[in-house]
Amino acid sequence: MRAVIQRVTEANCKVDEEITGAIGLGFLVLLGIEDADTDDDLQWLAQKISVLRVFGDENGLMNKALADINGDILLISQFTLFAQTKKGNRPSFIRAARPEKAIPMYEQMIKTLETLTSKKIETGIFGADMKISLLNDGPVTIIMDTRDKDNH
C-alpha cells in the first residue's frame, strides 16, 4: 500500500462537476493498493497517517498532528501510484490491485481512518474520472509505503 500525503489548507474532489469531497486544513491522501496488501498494511498505514506530525506549532516546527489542529482528510484512490516505468514509454499497472480487492480495502481504509480520527473522511469516487484541486501548504508532501514498515 502506498500513500502520498499532502498537507493542504484546502482540497476537493469533483466528479462530473459535482464535489464529492472537500476539506479545509488537513491531508489530501492519494492511496494506492496492490495485490500483496494485507489488513496489517492497512492498519499500519492508517495509524501512521492519523498521528503524522507535520503541522506547525507555535514555534513554526512540524510538531502537530491532525487532531491537534482539528484537521480533516480527503482520501482519493489512485492505482497509478503503482506505475512501473522501467520498460518502454507506457506505464504498466500490473502491481495495482484489481477492483475486487482494492474497493473493499479502500472502504476499510475510510472506516479505519474515521475510527482513528473520530471524524468523517471525505472521499472521491473509486474508479471515476476525478478532478482534484488542492492548495498544498508548505509545500509538505510525504510518501509512505507499507513495504517500508519493517525497516527501522
- Here the cell at position 75 is 482520501
Q: What's the chain's length in residues?
A: 152
From CA 80, how far away is CA 9, in angstroms rounded? 24
Contacts of 27 by beta carbon, 8 Å cutoff, 6+ apart: 5, 6, 7, 8, 49, 52, 66, 71, 72, 73, 74
User: Known catalytic residue: 115?
Assistant: no
Instruction: Kindly name the residue from 80, 85, 141, 146 that is annotated as catalytic.
Output: 80
Active site residues: 80
